[in-house]
Amino acid sequence: MEKEKFLKEKINSYLKYFNYDFTPVEFQNIFQKTLSDLNTFLAKDPSNGGEFIIIIKCNLPYQAVLLYRIANCLYYKDHKDLAMSISEFAKLKTGIEIHPAAQIGDNFVIDHGLGTVIGETTVIGQDCYILQSVILGSNSITDHKKHDRHPKIGNNVEIGAFSKILGNIRIGNNVKISPNSIITKDIDDNSRIVVSSYFQIERNQSNIKYTGYQVMNNKIIIYFDKLNESSVSDVQYLSKSNIFKPSKLNTNQITIENNDFILPLKLQFLENNHIISEMIIHI
C-alpha cells in the first residue's frame, strides 16, 4: 500500500541521515510501531484532513514520535550516544523533547506538541493522547542522581495542553486531564481531572497554593501545594445555606459535597479557630 511505502521511505531517510542500518527484524518492529502511531494520528487528529502523506511529510509531532521510536530502539541496543543525538535532533526539528529511554506504548499521539517534554524514566501506556507543552517531568532537582523520578501513565489517557505531571506518580487507566493541570499525586483509574487556575487571595498568612480539583462520586476534591506544611487545622467552605462548613482535610487536599457550595467557591483556612487565609476559587 502507498501509505506503508511512504512510511518506510521516511524511516529509511532518517536512518541514512544518521548513517545507521537496522536489521530486518528491528526495521519491521519500528515500522509496525510507527504505522500504528500513524493510523492513530489519522483517526484522532482532524487537522491533517485524513491525509497520511501530510502527516508523514509535514506533521512535526508525528516526526517527533517517529524519531523517538528509532532512538528508543538504539538506546536499548546500547547505542546511547546515537540515541541521544537523534533525540536532540528531534527536539531542534520539532520543539518536542522525548528522552530515548522513556517507554511509550503503541498508538501514541502528540497533537501540536510544541514545548512538550517527556522525561527519562517516564512510562506511557497504550492509546494515549497528549497536547502541546505537556511536561512529564521530575518534581525536584536531582543533582545527577539517577533514580525513577518521572510519571507512570496508564492506558487510554488524555492530557490537556500546558499540563504538568511531576514526580514518580501513577496516572491510572482511562483518565482525562484538563488543560493547565499540575498533578503531583496519584490519580485513580477512570478519573477526570478538571483544573481552573484562576483564584483570588483575600487574606494570606501562609504559602498555600491552589493547584486544581477533581470531581468523584458527587464530591469535589480540591488540591493544594504546601497545605501539609502549614499549621492549618481546618478548612471551611461557604455553603449554599450561606454558612461556612468544615471540609474533610487530608494532607494536601480537601473534600466537600459537590452540590453544597456557592460559586465562586470561598474557602477559609483556620489555625486553632483563627482564620489565617482566605481564598476564592473560580471552578
Q: pLDDT for 185-194, tens place per residue?
A: 888 888 777 6
Give the CATH H-level superfamily of domain 199-281: Expansin, cellulose-binding-like domain (2.60.40.760)
* Contact predicate 109/44, CB 8 Å: yes
Joined grid coordinates for residue 167 = 514526580
The C-alpha atoms of residue 236 and residue 267 are separated, in whole angstroms, by 6
Sequence ranges of the domains in the chain: 1-95, 102-193, 199-281
pLDDT in tens, 67-113: 999 999 999 999 999 999 999 999 999 999 999 999 999 999 999 99
Give the CATH fold of the 102-193 domain.
Answer: UDP N-Acetylglucosamine Acyltransferase; domain 1 (2.160.10)
Q: What is the pLDDT of residue 262?
A: 86
pLDDT at 167: 93
d(CA 187, CA 193): 9
Residues of the chain with confidence (pLDDT) below 70: 142-145, 194-205
Residue 87, C-alpha cell as written in the block = 533525540
What pLDDT is attached to residue 281?
A: 85
Cβ pair 257, 237 in contact under 8 A: no
